[in-house]
Structure 1
Amino acid sequence: MTAGLGLAINLYQLQIVQGSRLAQRARNQQMVKIRPFVPRRLVVDRNDNVLAVDRPVYTLYAHPKLFSQSEQQMAERLAPILDRTPAELVKIFQSRNSGITLASTLPEVNAGRVRSLRLNGLELIQQYSRYYPQKNVVADVVGYVNMDRRGQAGIEYSQEKLLERSVQTVQLSRAGDGKLLPNHAPEGFLNFDDLRLQLTIDSRLQRVARNVLQEQIKKFQAKRGAVIVMDASDGSLLALTSYPTYDPNEYSKADIALFRNWTVADLYEPGSTFKPLNVAIALENGAIKADDVFNDPGSVQIGKHTIRNAGLNSYGRINIAKILQTSSNIGMVRIIQRMKPLVYYNWLERLGLGQTVETDLPFEVRGQLKGQREFLGSPIEAATTSFGQGFSVTPLQLVQMHGALANGGKLVTPHVVQGLVDTKGQMHYAPNLPTPRQIFSAATAQTVVEMMETVVSEGTGKPAEIPGYRIGGKTGTSQKASPNGGYIPGARITSFVSILPVESPRYVVFAVADEPKGANAYGSTVAAPIVKAVMEALIPIEGIPPSQEIQSDSQAKQ
């Protein structure tokens, strides 16, 4: 009787008093929280060519103890799929009797071939891997993700938030046999948007730029080089590539120094490619007029320093266009001497020296400009700055500044991200870029571009000439600054910047080579041919009409 009463009390406790709490505990034990895998967004170029995509890959495991055929037979059937020899596979099979990893990123096609063999003792586990179909062509822009699917370079790093789709953790119930049941899953929890990140890069132009850059860098045994193409109307980068580079599909094999895009992460002294900007500053300030003439005796004494032209040339009385054509250092010093040093310094700051470009590419560094007190303390500072030495910029910042000459005087923000678009081409998000700053008047900018045209038609930029097209340009062959101060003996940086078409400027094309070898390594011989080849590809891609009728060989001889 007592035992029955105790049992009744316990049942009452379990069913009535603790019933709801115990039922909830049982339900909780049957529930499991999961965070479903959602693929990272695609990256596409301006023409919807895929640059980065998540794709299924497989890890292939072997369990020799479960083989129903001999190790030799298994090896012979798997060898052609895994690109290994049968002997290699047999040796692997003999290392242990289970859990052998034969391949960690097997493509879906190869996994299908393995399945079709219907061999016992093999196991395929699916996962997703980031794949870059263009390989090394756009690596400097796109970057890569690591094994944890986190961006480590390029826009994979800087645009992580746009590339990662939001995903919520969901609760599912588990059946008695352990299978997940969908009854508690929110409707559509496995669905995700079709948005992709579209870039301003044109893969066709990028490929041309990369190939011609690689060819010249190898020819002149240079340390490295880069090419940048910008649409100056809005700062869109149509191409940005450097060499050497890496394949993001095999990033673990690459030199880690290549992951920092040096067009935004390294500084250099621009040398003579900065001279057109100094001419624009002096014109805008009213210190000179376009038809002014200066005397170039070949050297000038600034305090205890003697400044000379490259090649020790003297040009006598020359106008400003001729100063750019011949790349006269003395002529540039004379131009800047017409300005008060403080006014000149303020103009350099206004142009952006010593500041960042604020691009959407990662790891950007700030340019270097000496402090105002040091700059004004000695006349040699303004003199060397006049021909592009004594301060430093990134290659991308130089392109940005020349963009102000190409677009009527505005400083735009160079960028590669166009926005998030769907599969129908509808834009859902576009980055909010800074408002362009008016630096020069449209008249000043056009005057300088027309002076730069004479550099290509009559001066050091002639190797970049393209029949029928009016092109402005400027060569640069500068000493390479040493991290410890001064300059590295014998080391030079050669570059060329162009603006086209002169009658309606819009595009800036720039090439730079770091430490090319040989006595004939100059901006005109190393960089200008690169720019010419890139422009020849840009013209049909962008549909740029000829500036004038192109003469045939027979017409030219008449």
Structure 2
Amino acid sequence: MNKVEPEDGVDILTTLDVQLQDVAEAALRKHLEGHGAGHGCAIVMEVATGDIKAIANLRRNEDGTYEEVYNYAVGESTEPGSTLKTATLIALLEEGDINLNDTVYTGKGKLQLYDHVISDSKEGGHGKITVKEVFEVSSNVGVIKLVQKVFKGREKDFVKKLYELKLNEPTGIIIPGEVKPQIRFPGDKGWSGLSMPMMSIGYEIRLTPLQILTFYNAIANNGRMVKPRLVKAYLKHGQVVQSFPPQVIQSSICSRSTLKKVHEVLEGVVENGTATNIKNPRYKIAGKTGTAQIAKGRMGYKSGGRISYQASFVGYFPAENPKYSCIVVVNSPSNSVYYGNVVAGPIFKEISDKVFATSPEWFSDIKGNELKDLPQTKTGQLSKLEYIMEKLDIPFESNGKKTDWVAVQRDSTKIKTTPITISKKKVPNVVGMGLRDAIYQLESLGLRVVAKGRGTVRSQSVNPGEPVIKGSTVYLEMSRGES
């Protein structure tokens, strides 16, 4: 009998950033809980490469808790609603004699199409507004009137334009289970006189969150569409055995002039339109809100007298030189609050704020000695502290002694450290440490830890220097109470 020697497997080097993943999942969880939503997802992508830096998916259990049980970002396709209007804008600018300053009469926000009434979200409508404003305030009536003006009788040209934007093709991401987009063509089963108008505002089309994000990432990337990448390489014994470089799907999704106008509109959505609630003075966000009714199969959009909604926001930041794109989709938010700017927008902003605040390259004009106040710094490991101080270019003084753990002091000019001696037989002083470091120190000595609150350790129930009694509990009170 021949023996086959076992062969070591390979390691996978992913594109995920652990810190960004934590940020995205925490922000998603907090807001899903706040809205009592059914499920939701958030994806953060690096604009230039298509690298997925974070992908979070959470679903509500019967007891109100949330857990990751399904990859909605890749495996669930829905009608996207107003986030699709940006593709419609590109089609209008490329195929029609349309300028952003042209005006559209949207009346009182109602439009009769056959036996269907299209409505705007603003009570009483927007009246006469510019093309730019149509997309900034997300007027369904305005978008449909423009599409009818340019593509009435040319429905095939409109759908072909969506196909040219690769919206009818899956991204091909390495994760199994990606759902193929659904975009009808004139003549297909189910096509009607309502199809093109409804498609222009994001209905009668089904896309996954990742497919929508890939399209917006191309807009952020100066028109260059790249394939979403989750795996960089396979490694064996630390050596690369197969690499997966970034792949270009399409070198340019539209003309430079169109792209410039689209950038202007997406920035306007946040500066003047439906997403002003996420505007901030530190950096610009560009993007589009989306609020769509969720179809219930043959029952239509209303089931049991109730309409369910999907709220979304997709965009990129900083708008003037985009580094990251991001999409947030929240399904079935409750509490009668369901608009994309209110439900999904704040999740996007919380993610982008934390990414921006922890990206030192965006603060290159600020030197450490120009900071008015040196940052608060926790007691912790010297190696990590030195790394952070170097990255942020903050004045730092170590006493030169080789030690793993240090206490930290600061004066008006620099941050100083004092060595901490850790004994295996005595309870250490963890006051001033972050919770992770404190737990590591105490549990490594065989102690149990119960913490109350967040932030930095303010007090500990067992005094430093007392003998370690393995299995006993140390209670920690943190600097910020539980919220």
Matches for 1:92-103 after TM superposition, within 5 Å: none
2:248 aligned residue (422, 428, 435): 435
Query: Match of 1:493, SS?
Result: strand
> Which residue of the partner structure matches residue 325 of structure 1?
136
Query: Match of 2:29, SS?
Result: helix
Task: Kindly provide the CA deviation profile for residues 59-109 of structure 1, in whole angstroms up to 9, marking residues without a partner as x.
Answer: xxxxxxxxxxxxxxxxxxxxxxxxxxxxxxxxxxxxxxxxxxxxxxxxxxx
> Which residue of the partner structure matches residue 495 of structure 1?
312
Aligned-partner residue type, residue 394 of structure 1: T
> Which residue of the partner structure matches residue 177 of structure 2?
363
- For residues 421 and 291 of structure 1, the distance between their equivalents in structure 2, rounded to whole angstroms, comes to 54
> Which residue of the partner structure matches residue 262 of structure 2?
448
1:427 Cα deviation from its structure 2 partner = 4.5
> Which residue of the partner structure matches residue 476 of structure 1?
290
1:222 aligned residue (37, 44, 61): 37
1:520 Cα deviation from its structure 2 partner = 2.3
Query: Match of 1:372, SS?
Result: coil
Task: Kindly provide the CA deviation profile for residues 464-500 of structure 1, in whole angstroms up to 9, marking residues without a partner as x.
Answer: 2232212112111110011225214320001111222
Q: Go from structure 1 to structure 2 and tell me whether the alpha carbon gap of 1:432 and 1:547 turns closer, same or farther (over 3 Å shift).
A: closer
- For residues 364 and 190 of structure 2, the distance between their equivalents in structure 1, rounded to whole angstroms, comes to 44
Task: Kindly provide the CA deviation profile for residues 353-393 of structure 1, in whole angstroms up to 9, marking residues without a partner as x.
Answer: 33311111111111111232148963311111111111110
Assess if the C-alpha contact under 8 Å between 1:503 and 1:547 holds in 2: no
> Which residue of the partner structure matches residue 119 of structure 2?
308
TM-score (norm 1): 0.59
- Higher mean alpha-carbon deviation, 431-440 vs 318-327, is at 431-440
TM-score (norm 2): 0.68
Query: Match of 1:384, SS?
Result: helix
> Which residue of the partner structure matches residue 477 of structure 2?
none
1:39 Cα deviation from its structure 2 partner = 4.8
Assess if the C-alpha contact under 8 Å between 1:235 and 1:413 holds in 2: yes
Assess if the C-alpha contact under 8 Å between 2:9 and 2:236 holds in 1: no
Assess if the C-alpha contact under 8 Å between 2:232 and 2:245 holds in 1: no
Specify the structure having the higher radius of gyration (Cα). 1
Aligned-partner residue type, residue 323 of structure 1: V
Matches for 1:152-301 after TM superposition, within 5 Å: 196-244=11-59, 260-297=70-107, 298-301=109-112
Q: Go from structure 1 to structure 2 and tell me whether the alpha carbon gap of 1:300 and 1:356 turns closer, same or farther (over 3 Å shift).
A: same
Aligned-partner residue type, residue 91 of structure 2: I
Aligned-partner residue type, residue 441 of structure 1: S
Counting matched residue pairs gives 354
1:525 Cα deviation from its structure 2 partner = 1.5
Assess if the C-alpha contact under 8 Å between 1:329 and 1:387 holds in 2: yes
- For residues 240 and 359 of structure 2, the distance between their equivalents in structure 1, rounded to whole angstroms, comes to 22
Query: Match of 2:52, SS?
Result: strand
Q: Go from structure 1 to structure 2 and tell me whether the alpha carbon gap of 1:215 and 1:376 turns closer, same or farther (over 3 Å shift).
A: closer
Unaligned regions of 5+ residues in structure 1, if any? Answer: 1-31, 42-195, 247-254, 550-558
- Higher mean alpha-carbon deviation, 291-300 vs 509-518, is at 291-300
Query: Match of 1:324, SS?
Result: helix
Query: Match of 2:308, SS?
Result: strand
Assess if the C-alpha contact under 8 Å between 2:155 and 2:186 holds in 1: no
1:323 Cα deviation from its structure 2 partner = 1.4
1:306 Cα deviation from its structure 2 partner = 2.1
- For residues 511 and 374 of structure 1, the distance between their equivalents in structure 2, rounded to whole angstroms, comes to 31
- For residues 409 and 276 of structure 1, the distance between their equivalents in structure 2, rounded to whole angstroms, comes to 13
Aligned-partner residue type, residue 396 of structure 1: L
Assess if the C-alpha contact under 8 Å between 1:296 and 1:330 holds in 2: yes
Assess if the C-alpha contact under 8 Å between 1:475 and 1:523 holds in 2: yes
- For residues 195 and 334 of structure 2, the distance between their equivalents in structure 1, rounded to whole angstroms, comes to 29
- For residues 475 and 398 of structure 1, the distance between their equivalents in structure 2, rounded to whole angstroms, comes to 12
Aligned-partner residue type, residue 230 of structure 1: M
- For residues 354 and 169 of structure 2, the distance between their equivalents in structure 1, rounded to whole angstroms, comes to 32
1:423 Cα deviation from its structure 2 partner = 7.1
1:505 Cα deviation from its structure 2 partner = 2.9
> Which residue of the partner structure matches residue 538 of structure 1?
355
Assess if the C-alpha contact under 8 Å between 2:266 and 2:286 holds in 1: yes
- For residues 494 and 524 of structure 1, the distance between their equivalents in structure 2, rounded to whole angstroms, comes to 8
- For residues 413 and 483 of structure 1, the distance between their equivalents in structure 2, rounded to whole angstroms, comes to 31
Cα-Cα RMSD: 2.7
Q: Go from structure 1 to structure 2 and tell me whether the alpha carbon gap of 1:482 and 1:352 turns closer, same or farther (over 3 Å shift).
A: farther
- For residues 225 and 343 of structure 2, the distance between their equivalents in structure 1, rounded to whole angstroms, comes to 28
- For residues 429 and 284 of structure 1, the distance between their equivalents in structure 2, rounded to whole angstroms, comes to 41
> Which residue of the partner structure matches residue 387 of structure 1?
201
Query: Match of 1:349, SS?
Result: helix
The percent identity for this pair of structures is 28
1:524 Cα deviation from its structure 2 partner = 1.4
Matched, 1:464 2:278: yes
Task: Kindly provide the CA deviation profile for residues 423-460 of structure 1, in whole angstroms up to 9, marking residues without a partner as x.
Answer: 77x65422266533121123322321221112112222
- For residues 245 and 307 of structure 1, the distance between their equivalents in structure 2, rounded to whole angstroms, comes to 32
Assess if the C-alpha contact under 8 Å between 1:404 and 1:440 holds in 2: no
Query: Match of 2:274, SS?
Result: coil
Assess if the C-alpha contact under 8 Å between 1:210 and 1:241 holds in 2: yes
Query: Match of 2:362, SS?
Result: coil
Assess if the C-alpha contact under 8 Å between 1:469 and 1:547 holds in 2: no
- For residues 375 and 232 of structure 1, the distance between their equivalents in structure 2, rounded to whole angstroms, comes to 37
> Which residue of the partner structure matches residue 335 of structure 1?
146
Assess if the C-alpha contact under 8 Å between 1:375 and 1:382 holds in 2: no
- For residues 200 and 429 of structure 1, the distance between their equivalents in structure 2, rounded to whole angstroms, comes to 15
- For residues 365 and 129 of structure 2, the distance between their equivalents in structure 1, rounded to whole angstroms, comes to 28
Unaligned regions of 5+ residues in structure 2, if any? Answer: 367-483
Comparing both structures, which one devotes a greater share of its residues to helix? 1
Task: Kindly provide the CA deviation profile for residues 105-145 of structure 1, in whole angstroms up to 9, marking residues without a partner as x.
Answer: xxxxxxxxxxxxxxxxxxxxxxxxxxxxxxxxxxxxxxxxx
Query: Match of 1:310, SS?
Result: coil
Q: Go from structure 1 to structure 2 and tell me whether the alpha carbon gap of 1:312 and 1:461 turns closer, same or farther (over 3 Å shift).
A: same
Q: Go from structure 1 to structure 2 and tell me whether the alpha carbon gap of 1:538 and 1:448 turns closer, same or farther (over 3 Å shift).
A: same
Query: Match of 1:332, SS?
Result: helix
Assess if the C-alpha contact under 8 Å between 1:404 and 1:410 holds in 2: yes
> Which residue of the partner structure matches residue 7 of structure 1?
none
Q: Go from structure 1 to structure 2 and tell me whether the alpha carbon gap of 1:204 and 1:395 turns closer, same or farther (over 3 Å shift).
A: same
- For residues 6 and 213 of structure 2, the distance between their equivalents in structure 1, rounded to whole angstroms, comes to 41
Assess if the C-alpha contact under 8 Å between 2:159 and 2:185 holds in 1: no
- Higher mean alpha-carbon deviation, 304-313 vs 445-454, is at 304-313
1:397 Cα deviation from its structure 2 partner = 0.4
